[in-house]
Structure 1
Amino acid sequence: MAAADAAVVGISTDGSDALCDFAQSLALPYDLASDRSGEVRRLYDVRRRFGLGTSRFTYVVDDAGVIRSVYHNEFVMKSHARSALEALETLRNGRV
């Protein structure tokens, strides 16, 4: 992601202490943000069916704040990074 001049931020409804412990345990190379109030979850409508938690989505947002790519996969976490990199490559090549 750094080579694509992109920033990565993970957002979770977990509290900041839990996120800090999680990030340290995995030595995550990106920041995590707590959405305890669920405001971000509501704004991006990423609730699971029947209100059972939050779905896993990846958004690529450009410098102007426009969402350029949305990816959803509950099971293959590595596919999120691949999808984001593909979207960044598309943006870099001038395609939208």
Structure 2
Amino acid sequence: MTLDDVRELTRKTLSAQLAAYGFDDVVVSAGKDHDDDDALFMTATYKPGSALPGGDVLNRTLAILRRELQNAGEERFPYLTHRPEGEETGYEEDAPE
């Protein structure tokens, strides 16, 4: 899948799962993980004033996202972080695309 395809599917999936929690958008980049495997690095952003969902919701959302990506033929693992509006992502700004 292209990054645009991944971004579109991820945005759709996260919107369906996290809209009630103030999900706003997602930033997606490709890179290498700690094992030097190809991976996807994603940061979900939330509208101002939103509280992050609990761990059970976040874990379920990641499982659903992983399944949707695999069903679409994507093999790279998605590393998904969550960032309320105005907080740093934890990823370097220069993350490869």
Query: Does TM-score exceed 0.5, indicating one fold?
Result: no
- TM-score computed with the length of structure 1 as normaliser: 0.30
Q: Please say which structure displays the higher CA radius of gyration.
A: 1
The structure with the largest strand share of the pair is 2
- TM-score computed with the length of structure 2 as normaliser: 0.30
Identify the structure with bigger relative contact order (alpha carbons < 8 Å, sequence gap 6+).
2
